[in-house]
Amino acid sequence: MAAVSPTIDTLMMDAAFFAARAAAEAGEVPVGAVVARGKQCISVAHNLVETTPDPTAHAETLALRIAAQRLGVARLSDCTLYVTLEPCAMCAGALEHARINRIVFGAYDPKGGGVEHGARVFQRETCRHVPEIIGGYREKEAAKMLADFFQSLR
């Protein structure tokens, strides 16, 4: 695993977990995302798929949209995305197009992930941009939140 900053990465991932808990309280799959530039938090979002209803309203895409609007740019090449779950193929594609510099994610997603699993978007020959990827950051905490949420539905 690549290096993480014990302070900035922890604070930004704390914000992503806070957003994920808000998603769960709203009946959404508990995934939270933060876009940061250096030490500055640019955006925070959580899944809104069921609430909106919009199949593209994943935490990552929402956080990217907000960050791009706030910064007034479509390319977030100097930003890091923090997210509690490995991004799916759709979100990984959006991260590629946004030219995000770094992705830090919590739980791995063997079924729906698109970074380390499934489509492996950043390993494709056609990929135009490959960010630094740090997977499994606070993995147990993220996986437990997801497991608890789905258990409560049963």
Catalytic residues: 60
CB 45 within 8 A of CB 63: yes
Distance from the first to the final alpha carbon of the chain? 34
- CA dihedral sign, ordered 34, 71, 96, 63: positive
Label residue 99 exposed, middle or buried (CB < 10 Å: 0-12, 13-18, 19+): middle
- CA dihedral sign, ordered 6, 131, 107, 32: positive
